[in-house]
Amino acid sequence: MLVQADALIESTDRIHRPGHLRFSDQLITEAGSSLKPSPGEEVLKLSGMVLAPGFINLHAHLDLAGLRKRLQPGKDFSDWLRQVISCLPELTPEKRRQSIVESSTHALQTGTTSVLSILSDSSTLAGLTSTATRTWWGLEFMDFAESVNPAEVLDRAKAWLIRHPASFWHLALSPHSPYTASPELYRSLRDLSTHQQLPFTTHLAESPVETLFLTGESSPLHSLLPKELSRKDLAGTNRSAMGWCRTNGTLPHFPILAHGNEVTEADLGYLVERKATIVHCPLAHRWFGRAPFPFPLYQTQGVPICLGTDSPAGSSNFHFDLRAEVREFRSHHPQVTTQEAWAMITTEPAKALQRPCQLGCLTRGAWADWVAWRIPATGDLLKTILEDRQNAEWTCVGGVPTRHETL
């Protein structure tokens, strides 16, 4: 198929006017400004529109949209967790599936074609037939209440994936967090992700109560966990959540760390050595009223920062719109250029997923995951797209275009 638009953002330093894109099956075969249709080739003319790579959301919970406007940030993080726990029984697999279908549609309409979505209950997947976006299912594990067998859960998920070859689904592994998953569980998921080359993601260093817990001090989190829980790894020598990871060898290479709000200068070397990526969720950060995100500290060592949305259970971003996250982030960090902000939701998350040639750009060989925005093809296209509040008019995931109805 050949798509002819007014402009094409192949990558931030390669913009074509007009913009033509050719793809076959799932892959882009050609990008340029003067591509002519081959005999019999299907042509999609998108005049008045600009083609761009789809955004990548590295931290979301597509299944939790049912909790929007239900919870309060509370006096500390454990308060909010308590509210979430009390709502979980009503989130049946059917409700979670409904939420996934709706949320992935909202994400796609706002320009996101790939989502790394944490999945706390893997039985939700049974009966799910498709999602609007390409989705990495971050299979979530905890072992504070009972032991789990990650290899068994992963095998079942892989068998499920094989039964749905037409869906653009991938797997990832996700120990929930250091307060609900033991070092042993982290290490078994670390090894599984390394051997099976699956992305590894976890909630880490999200709030001060987590740091207190891991450094062996009294923390409100204790009240949420079983009294008999005995963890020898909780000790003052950890100094921070990242320090706990280092001491206990819990992270593989290329970990995707959601939040990273609590970090010290001493942690940075370890993050660089592990090639870690931090996923900051600016609107969730604001919703919880957190202290300023330590972006300048990460910048000193070049730790990559990507942006995610987290879930409507703890954020005002009900539509999983990454442009809104960029705007919130830049209101706190105005020195970040448009190109840098764009990279945080395209090329940087593509690298974190270890798919730098497939995602985040529209060059030959990349996956045909693109978005068509109805904006003028003049001026700074990246800036116009990031500031735009309209939905995308066309999107394409894995070479399958979709027109979004507008009135």
Residue closer to Zn ion, measured from CB, 310 or 348: 310
User: Which residue in 310, 390, 324 sits closest to 80, CA to CA?
Assistant: 310
- Classify strands 112-119 and 134-141 as parallel, antiparallel or unpaired: parallel
| Smallest distance from Zn ion to CB 280, Å | 12
| Smallest distance from Zn ion to CB 308, Å | 8
| Smallest distance from Zn ion to CB 180, Å | 12
Residue closer to Zn ion, measured from CB, 52 or 116: 116
User: Which residue in 282, 310, 312, 307 sits closest to 99, CA to CA?
Assistant: 312
Contact status, residue 162 vs residue 154, Cβ threshold 8 Å: no
| Token reading at 316 | 């005002």
Q: Which residue has the tokens 């996700």?
A: 174
Closest residue to Zn ion, based on beta-carbon distance: 310
DSSP secondary structure code for residue 30 in this structure: E
Residue closer to Zn ion, measured from CB, 310 or 369: 310
| Smallest distance from Zn ion to CB 58, Å | 11
| Token reading at 354 | 């270890």
The residues in 149-208 that bind Zn ion, with binding defined as CB under 5 A, are: none
| Smallest distance from Zn ion to CB 87, Å | 15
Residue closer to Zn ion, measured from CB, 62 or 368: 62
| Smallest distance from Zn ion to CB 112, Å | 16
For residue 354, report the phi and psi dihedrals to the nearest 5 degrees: 60, 40
Residue closer to Zn ion, measured from CB, 15 or 71: 71
The residues in 222-241 that bind Zn ion, with binding defined as CB under 5 A, are: none
User: Which residue in 158, 138, 142 sits closest to 88, CA to CA?
Assistant: 142
Is residue 29 packed enough to be buried (19+ CB in 10 Å), middle (13-18) or exposed (0-12)?
middle
Please say whether the dihedral angle defined by the alpha carbons of residues 144, 80, 292 and 322, taken in this order, is positive or negative: positive
CA distance linking residue 154 with residue 384, whole number of Å: 41
How many CB atoms are closer than 10 A to CB 279? 28
- Classify strands 169-175 and 2-11 as parallel, antiparallel or unpaired: unpaired
| Smallest distance from Zn ion to CB 36, Å | 47
How many CB atoms are closer than 10 A to CB 51? 27
Query: Taking the CA atoms of the chain, what radius of gyration do you get in angstroms?
Result: 21
156 in helix, strand or coil? helix
Residue closer to Zn ion, measured from CB, 239 or 290: 290
CA distance linking residue 11 with residue 347, whole number of Å: 9
CA distance linking residue 209 with residue 238, whole number of Å: 14
The residues in 303-322 that bind Zn ion, with binding defined as CB under 5 A, are: 310
Residue closer to Zn ion, measured from CB, 85 or 400: 85
Q: How many residues bind Zn ion (CB under 5 A)?
A: 1
| Smallest distance from Zn ion to CB 207, Å | 12
95's CB contacts (< 8 A; 6+ apart) are 66
| Smallest distance from Zn ion to CB 73, Å | 14
Residue closer to Zn ion, measured from CB, 43 or 84: 84
The residues in 255-314 that bind Zn ion, with binding defined as CB under 5 A, are: 310
Q: Which residue has the tokens 């080739």?
A: 41
| Smallest distance from Zn ion to CB 61, Å | 6
Q: Which residue has the tokens 């960090």?
A: 333
Contact status, residue 310 vs residue 62, Cβ threshold 8 Å: no
Residue closer to Zn ion, measured from CB, 117 or 219: 117
CA distance linking residue 168 with residue 156, whole number of Å: 18
Residue closer to Zn ion, measured from CB, 10 or 310: 310
| Smallest distance from Zn ion to CB 32, Å | 40
Residue closer to Zn ion, measured from CB, 179 or 370: 179
Kindly list the residues in this chain that would bind Zn ion in the complex (CB under 5 A): 310
